[in-house]
Amino acid sequence: MSSAPALDIDHIAKLARLALTAEEKARFAQQLGDVLHHIEQLAKVDVTGVEPTAHASPIFNVWQADVAQPGLTVADALRNAPAQRDNMILVPKVVE
């Protein structure tokens, strides 16, 4: 983290499953380069022996009784599906 690393926008967009246009790629790479440059100052902080904080609530694990609760009906669960048939969500063929 000594200097702002180059952000490989094609690689990251692929990982994020975002089909960016060439124009978006150029613009985001420049803008995020500025943001990353700013973020570089985190490297200055001495974090030796410091535990990470995932969230500030004093809760670390939660157990619940394994009891069935009322859930959504099939109709409610499928209400927002982009395409459906016979109580199933339709997607294009995955394997030929």
Partner 1 sequence: MSSKLYFRTIADLAAALDAKQLSSVELTQAVIARTHAVEPCIHAFNSFDEADALAQAAASDARRAAGQSCGPLDGIPIGLKDVIAVTGQPLTASSKMLKDFVSPYDATVTTKLKKAGAVLWGRLNCDEFAMGSSTENSAFGPTGNPWDPTRVPGGSSGGSSAALAAGEAIATLGSDTGGSIRQPAALCGVVGLKPTYGLVSRFGLIAFASSLDQIGPFTRTVEDAAIVLGAIAGHDERDSTSFQAEIPDYRAALTSQRGPWKLGIPKEYFATGLDPEIAASVEKAIAFYQSQGCEIREVSLPHTQYCLDTYYVIATAEASSNLGRYDGIRYGHRSTAAKDAVDIYAHSRAEGFGPEVKRRIILGTYVLSSGYYDAYYLRAQKVRTLIRQDFLHAFRDVDALLTPTSPMPAFKIGEKADPLALYLCDIYTIGVNLAGLPAISVPCGFTKSGLPIGAQLIGQPWKESNLLAIAHAYERAHDWSAQFPIF
Instruction: Kindly list the residues in this chain that would bind partner 1 in the complex (CB under 8 A).
Output: 1, 5, 7, 9, 11-13, 15-21, 24, 28, 31-32, 34-36, 38-39, 41-43, 45, 47, 50-59, 62, 64, 72, 76-77, 79-83, 89, 91-94
User: Min. distance of Cβ 7 from partner 1 in angstroms?
Assistant: 6
Two tokens at 37?
Answer: 């440059």
In the DSSP assignment, the letter for residue 84 is: E
CA distance 37 to 31: 10
User: Min. distance of Cβ 5 from partner 1 in angstroms?
Assistant: 8
CA distance 40 to 83: 45
User: Min. distance of Cβ 69 from partner 1 in angstroms?
Assistant: 9
Which amino acid does the sequence have at 72? L
CA distance 12 to 6: 11
